[in-house]
Amino acid sequence: MTDNKTEHHANHHNEANHKEHEKKKSSFGKEKMWMIATAILAVAFVVVLILFLTANTNSDNGNLTGLFGLPGDLPDAGSCSITPDASLIGEQTVTFLEENFPVTGLILKSSVLERGLINVTINVEGQDMNIYTSTDGEIVFIPGGAPIYKTEFAKLQAELNANAEAEAASIPKVDKPKIDVYVMSHCPYGTQIEKGLLPVVDLLGDKADIAIKFVNYTLHGEKETNEQINQYCIQQKYPTQYYDYLSCFLEDSNTDRCVAKEGFDTSVLNACVAETDATYGLTANEPQFAIYDAENKAFGVAGSPTTVINGIKVDNMPRSPQGILDRVCAAFTTAPSECSIQLSTDTPAPGFGYDGTGSATPAECS
């Protein structure tokens, strides 16, 4: 009797184990099949994605060729997609660049839809350049730079303009404005504003007190210290010829050539240079340049260029002749007739030489 119960119990136990084993086997099989199906779907998705990204441009109408050679837009099939006007976006891109950057003479060569972007080919001074934009023209991708979002760019420009207007309004008006421009003689941004300033000096003459001064430290070595002492001495000994000398120096930084051109007595200049150097300890304490140290500290001068108008430091000083003229003329109690004359609105290129134009961005040596 006991043996029968034991045998029955063993059979029941084996049957249960068998069912459980079959259940696990079945579960494992389903799980494995699900994993295989998921992998297949993943591979299929990748294939579709690759086909989409590597789709070709239809040479007939400029539309992106869709999967398996079908047109990317099928208006007859009731598609809601909109094909961008590549030509219009190309024209808008060129206009945007000309209005906001120091470039002129841009030629639009082609503008086509290419892999989800508009490829705008322009010619700049004989060189072709490819600039990509989003299909709505909102984002501009300039080689070597961060993407430009037109809406945000416009907001920033409006904010800068508003700040500049508020800043100009805060400058007290006087009968004869005093404009001090602090530079480093070899700073490319210092030379940039100097080139923009020269036509204003020529136009206004002695109706405004415009002076070039120096930041209280140098960044460009011994040549800069020596040149700044030299220019200071020209200002002291030959003040009426200083801007003529500066105009020459800005061509190629050739001091000797420009001293000879203006006919300065080198013995007079050399004596002044030696005396000034000894008085302020300039070469001995390089890179400190202490001639205008007190003014630098008083006005918070911290880089080249820094402009102070009627005792107020100007943070958003333009560098084009017209922009500088507007700021100076706004500082008059009564602006002279010269302020109605139009000067160039082009911002000079940084560095030496008068060719080309540069960015209006207020970069500085600091």
* Check whether domain 173-340 has CATH 3.40.190.10, yes or no: no
- Name the more confident of 168 and 134: 134
Q: What is the pLDDT of residues 257-288, one digit of tens each?
A: 999 999 999 999 999 999 999 999 999 999 99
Q: What's the chain's average pLDDT?
A: 81
Average pLDDT over residues 142-171: 79
Dist CA 360 CA 318 (whole Å) = 7
**What per-residue confidence (pLDDT) applies to 289?**
96
Q: What is the pLDDT of residues 105-119, one digit of tens each?
A: 789 999 999 889 999
- pLDDT of residue 49 exceeding 70: no
The reply to whether the predicted model has a pTM over 0.85 is: no
Average pLDDT over residues 96-107: 78
Residue 58, burial from CB neighbour count under 10 angstroms (0-12, 13-18, 19+): middle
Task: Return the residue matching tokens 């030509």.
Answer: 87
The DSSP output letter for 63 is P
- pLDDT of residue 133 exceeding 80: yes
Q: What is the pLDDT of residues 6-44, one digit of tens each?
A: 444 444 444 444 444 444 444 434 444 444 343 434 433
Segment among 101-105, 122-126, 361-365 with least mean pLDDT: 101-105
**What per-residue confidence (pLDDT) applies to 70?**
34
Average pLDDT over residues 248-257: 97
Q: Residue ranges per domain, the chain?
A: 2-54, 86-152, 173-340
Q: What is the pLDDT of residues 73-89, one digit of tens each?
A: 434 444 455 678 999 99
What is the DSSP secondary-structure string of 211-252?
Answer: EEEE-SB-SS-HHHHHHHHHHHHHHHH-GGGHHHHHHHHHHH
The C-alpha angle 309, 158, 150, rounded to 5 degrees, equals: 135
- pLDDT of residue 152 exceeding 50: yes
